Structure 1
Amino acid sequence: MTNEPRLILNNDSNNLFQELKTSIETCRSFYFSVAFLNFSGLQLLLDTLKEAETAGTKGKILTSTYLNFTDPEALRKLREFPAIESKVFVTDKTGFHTKAYIFEYDDFYKVIIGSSNITQHALKSNIEWNVEIISKEKDTFMDRVLDEFNQLWARSHEVDDKFLHDYEELVRNLEQTVTRQSLVYEKSAYVTPNTMQTRAMENLDRLRGIGEEKALVVAATGTGKTYMAAFDVRRERPKRLLFVVHREEILQKAKETFEYLLHNFDVSFGLLTGTQKDFEAEYLFANIRTLHNYYDSFDPDAFDYIVYDEAHHVTAPTYQEVFEHFDAPFTLGMTATPERGDQQSIFEQFDQNVALEVRLHDALEDDIIVPFHYFGVTDVDSVDLSDVSIDDIDEITKRLKVNERVDFIIDKMNFYGFDGEKRKGLGFCASLEHARYMAAEFTKRGVPSLALDGSHSGEERQEAIRRLEAEEDQVEFLFTVDIFNEGVDIPSVNTVLMLRPTNSPIIFIQQLGRGLRKHEGKEFLTVLDFIGNHAKTFLIAIALNGQRYYDKESLKVAISTGFVHLPGATHIEMDEISKERILTQIDQESFMSMKYLREQYQEFKRVRAGNVPHWLMDYYTYENAPDPVSFIKKKRTYLEFVAAAEKDDHLKVLTADETFEKTLKWLSSMLPLKRSYDFVVLRALVHKRLLTIGEAKQEMEKWVKEVPEESVDHAFRYVNQEFFDSREQERTPKLVSFDGEVAERTLLFDKLLGKEEYRAYLLDVLEYGLLRYEREFGSYNYGLPHFKLYEQYQMADAALMSNYRKSHSAFRGSGLLQNGDDYFLFVDLHKEADIKESINYNDKLISRTQFQWETPNSTTQGSERGKNILHNRERGIRLHLFLRKYKQIENGITEPYIYIGQGDAFSWQGEQPIEVQMELHHRLPEQLYTELTEKV
Structure 2
Amino acid sequence: MEIDKRLITNSATGNMLKEIASSLQECKQFYFSVAFINFSGLQLLLDPLKQAGKKGVKGKIITSTYLHFTDVKSLEKINTFDTIDLKVFVTDELDRGFHTKAYIFEYDDFYKIFIGSSNITQSALKSNVEWNVEIISKHEDDFVQTILKEYAEIWDLSTVADAKFMTKYQEMLEKMEQVVTQQKQLVAQKDSYIIPNNMQRRAMDNLHRLREYGETKALVIAATGTGKTYMSAFDVKNVRPKRLLFLVHREEILRKAKETFELLLPNEKITFGLLTGNAKDYNAEYLFANIRTMSKHYEKFQSDTFDYIIYDEAHHATSPSYQHVMEYFQPQFTLGMTATPERADHHNVFDLFDNNVALEVRLHEALEEDLVIPFHYFGVTDIDEVDLSDVDIDNIAEITKRLKVHERVDFIIENMEFYSHDTNKRKCIGFCVSRDHAQYMAEEFNKRGYTSIALDGDDSIEKRAMYITRLEDENDPLTVIFTVDIFNEGVDIPSINSVLMLRPTNSPIVFIQQLGRGLRKHPMKSYLTVLDFIGNHSKTFLIALALNGNRYYDKESLKVAIATGFANIPGNTHIQLDEISQERILAQIDQENFNSMKYLKEEYFEFKKLNSGRTPLYLMNYLKYDGAPDPVKFIDKAKTYIGFVAKVEKDEQLKVLLYDETFEAVLKELSSMLPLKRIYEFVILRYLLTHTSISIPQAMQEIKKEIADVDEDSVLHAFQCLNQDFYDHLQQKNKPKLCTHHNSVLTKTETFAQFVETDHEKSRLIADVIHFGIFRYHKEFKNTYYGVPFLKLYEQYQMIDAALLSNYRKIHSSFRGQGLLTNGKEYFLFVDLHKEEDIKDSINYNDMFLDRKYFQWETPNSTRQASERGKNILFNQQNHIHLHLFVRKYKQIEKGKTEPFIYIGKGNTVSYQGEQPIQVKLELEHEVPERLYTEFTERV
**CA drift at 1:2:** 4.1
Q: Which residue of 1 aligns with 2:136?
A: 134
Q: Which residue of 2 aligns with 1:15?
A: 15
Amino acid at match of 1:63: T
Q: Which residue of 2 aligns with 1:932?
A: 936
**CA drift at 1:28:** 1.6
Equivalent residues of 2:185, 2:523 under 8 A apart: no
Instruction: Quote the Cα distance in structure 2 between the aligned partners of 1:168 and 1:379.
Output: 36
Equivalent residues of 2:30, 2:60 under 8 A apart: yes
- C-alpha spacing 1:180/1:342, structure 2 compared with 1 (3 Å): closer
Equivalent residues of 1:503, 1:539 under 8 A apart: yes
Alignment of 1:455-604 (within 5 A): 455-604=458-607
1:369 aligns with 2:384: no
Amino acid at match of 2:858: E
Instruction: Quote the Cα distance in structure 1 between the aligned partners of 2:441 and 2:707.
Output: 52
Instruction: Quote the Cα distance in structure 2 between the aligned partners of 1:87 and 1:668.
Output: 66
Instruction: Quote the Cα distance in structure 1 between the aligned partners of 2:537 and 2:907.
Output: 46
Q: Which residue of 2 aligns with 1:878?
A: 882
Is the partner of 1:475 in helix, strand or coil? coil
Is the partner of 2:136 in helix, strand or coil? strand
Equivalent residues of 1:188, 1:260 under 8 A apart: no
User: Mean alpha-carbon deviation: is it higher for 305-314 or for 405-414?
Assistant: 305-314
Is the partner of 1:202 in helix, strand or coil? helix
Amino acid at match of 1:851: F
Instruction: Quote the Cα distance in structure 2 between the aligned partners of 1:566 and 1:812.
Output: 34
**CA drift at 1:408:** 0.8
Partner of residue 160 from structure 2, selected from 158, 161, 172:
158
Amino acid at match of 2:269: D
**CA drift at 1:184:** 4.4
- C-alpha spacing 1:364/1:551, structure 2 compared with 1 (3 Å): same
1:726 aligns with 2:729: yes
Partner of residue 433 from structure 2, selected from 430, 440, 446:
430
- C-alpha spacing 1:479/1:341, structure 2 compared with 1 (3 Å): closer
**CA drift at 1:814:** 5.1
Amino acid at match of 1:86: L
Instruction: Quote the Cα distance in structure 1 between the aligned partners of 2:937 and 2:780.
Output: 26
Q: Which residue of 1 aligns with 2:39?
A: 39
**CA drift at 1:367:** 1.5
CA deviation map 1:145-164 (0-9, x unaligned): 22221211111011111001
Equivalent residues of 1:663, 1:733 under 8 A apart: yes
Q: Which residue of 1 aligns with 2:797?
A: 793
Partner of residue 176 from structure 2, selected from 174, 177, 198:
174
Instruction: Quote the Cα distance in structure 2 between the aligned partners of 1:497 and 1:342.
Output: 28
User: Mean alpha-carbon deviation: is it higher for 348-357 or for 396-405?
Assistant: 348-357
**CA drift at 1:523:** 1.2
The alignment of Structure 1 onto Structure 2 pairs a total of residues equal to 936
**CA drift at 1:136:** 2.4
**CA drift at 1:593:** 0.7
Instruction: Quote the Cα distance in structure 2 between the aligned partners of 1:390 and 1:702.
Output: 45
Instruction: Quote the Cα distance in structure 1 between the aligned partners of 2:177 and 2:162.
Output: 23
**CA drift at 1:542:** 0.2
Instruction: Quote the Cα distance in structure 1 between the aligned partners of 2:343 and 2:732.
Output: 35
Instruction: Quote the Cα distance in structure 2 between the aligned partners of 1:315 and 1:725.
Output: 46
Q: Which residue of 2 aligns with 1:261?
A: 264
Amino acid at match of 1:618: N
- C-alpha spacing 1:234/1:814, structure 2 compared with 1 (3 Å): closer
Q: Which residue of 1 aligns with 2:824?
A: 820
Partner of residue 861 from structure 1, selected from 843, 865, 885:
865
Equivalent residues of 1:506, 1:543 under 8 A apart: yes
User: Mean alpha-carbon deviation: is it higher for 374-383 or for 26-35?
Assistant: 26-35
Is the partner of 2:807 in helix, strand or coil? coil
CA deviation map 1:783-835 (0-9, x unaligned): 11111111111111111111111111123465110011111111110014122
Equivalent residues of 1:13, 1:925 under 8 A apart: no
Is the partner of 2:393 in helix, strand or coil? coil
**CA drift at 1:438:** 0.8
**CA drift at 1:17:** 0.8
Equivalent residues of 2:799, 2:818 under 8 A apart: no
Alignment of 1:11-410 (within 5 A): 11-92=11-92, 93-178=95-180, 180-185=182-187, 191-339=194-342, 341=344, 344-410=347-413
Task: State, as a whole percentage, how many aligned pairs show the same letter.
Answer: 63
Is the partner of 1:451 in helix, strand or coil? strand
User: Mean alpha-carbon deviation: is it higher for 209-218 or for 442-451?
Assistant: 209-218
Amino acid at match of 1:160: D
Equivalent residues of 1:393, 1:431 under 8 A apart: yes
Alignment of 1:747-762 (within 5 A): 747-753=750-756, 754-762=758-766
- C-alpha spacing 1:187/1:855, structure 2 compared with 1 (3 Å): closer
Q: Which residue of 1 aligns with 2:652?
A: 649
Equivalent residues of 2:387, 2:402 under 8 A apart: yes
- C-alpha spacing 1:847/1:83, structure 2 compared with 1 (3 Å): same
**CA drift at 1:186:** 7.3
Is the partner of 1:493 in helix, strand or coil? coil
Instruction: Quote the Cα distance in structure 1 between the aligned partners of 2:842 and 2:778.
Output: 40
- C-alpha spacing 1:302/1:427, structure 2 compared with 1 (3 Å): same
Amino acid at match of 2:762: Y
Is the partner of 1:748 in helix, strand or coil? helix
User: Mean alpha-carbon deviation: is it higher for 6-15 or for 42-51?
Assistant: 6-15
Task: Give TM-score, length-normalised by structure 1.
Answer: 0.98
User: Mean alpha-carbon deviation: is it higher for 3-12 or for 769-778?
Assistant: 3-12
Instruction: Quote the Cα distance in structure 1 between the aligned partners of 2:704 and 2:351.
Output: 18
**CA drift at 1:244:** 1.1
Equivalent residues of 2:595, 2:896 under 8 A apart: no
Gaps in structure 2 of 5+ consecutive residues? none
Instruction: Quote the Cα distance in structure 2 between the aligned partners of 1:399 and 1:320.
Output: 46
- C-alpha spacing 1:200/1:540, structure 2 compared with 1 (3 Å): same
Partner of residue 927 from structure 2, selected from 919, 923, 928:
923
CA deviation map 1:676-709 (0-9, x unaligned): 0010111110110111111100000011111011
1:809 aligns with 2:804: no
Instruction: Quote the Cα distance in structure 2 between the aligned partners of 1:119 and 1:373.
Output: 13
Q: Which residue of 1 aligns with 2:714?
A: 711
Instruction: Quote the Cα distance in structure 1 between the aligned partners of 2:630 and 2:898.
Output: 17
- C-alpha spacing 1:538/1:357, structure 2 compared with 1 (3 Å): same
Equivalent residues of 2:551, 2:630 under 8 A apart: no
Amino acid at match of 1:123: L
Instruction: Quote the Cα distance in structure 1 between the aligned partners of 2:527 and 2:78.
Output: 19
Instruction: Quote the Cα distance in structure 2 between the aligned partners of 1:187 and 1:478.
Output: 29
Instruction: Quote the Cα distance in structure 1 between the aligned partners of 2:474 and 2:818.
Output: 68
Partner of residue 781 from structure 2, selected from 771, 777, 783:
777
- C-alpha spacing 1:407/1:604, structure 2 compared with 1 (3 Å): same
CA deviation map 1:820-853 (0-9, x unaligned): 1111111110014122223121111100111001
Instruction: Quote the Cα distance in structure 2 between the aligned partners of 1:16 and 1:9.
Output: 7
**CA drift at 1:410:** 0.8
Gaps in structure 1 of 5+ consecutive residues? none
Is the partner of 1:274 in helix, strand or coil? coil
Instruction: Quote the Cα distance in structure 2 between the aligned partners of 1:298 and 1:743.
Output: 44
Q: How well do the aligned residues superpose, as a CA RMSD in angstroms?
A: 1.5
Is the partner of 2:225 in helix, strand or coil? coil
**CA drift at 1:343:** 5.2
Is the partner of 1:339 in helix, strand or coil? helix
**CA drift at 1:488:** 1.0
Instruction: Quote the Cα distance in structure 1 between the aligned partners of 2:362 and 2:686.
Output: 26
Q: Which residue of 2 aligns with 1:418?
A: 421
User: Mean alpha-carbon deviation: is it higher for 530-539 or for 773-782?
Assistant: 773-782
Alignment of 1:597-676 (within 5 A): 597-676=600-679
Instruction: Quote the Cα distance in structure 2 between the aligned partners of 1:276 and 1:84.
Output: 62
Task: Give TM-score, length-normalised by structure 2.
Answer: 0.98
Q: Which residue of 2 aligns with 1:767?
A: 771
CA deviation map 1:606-638 (0-9, x unaligned): 112211111100000100001111111111111
Equivalent residues of 2:101, 2:118 under 8 A apart: yes
**CA drift at 1:740:** 3.1
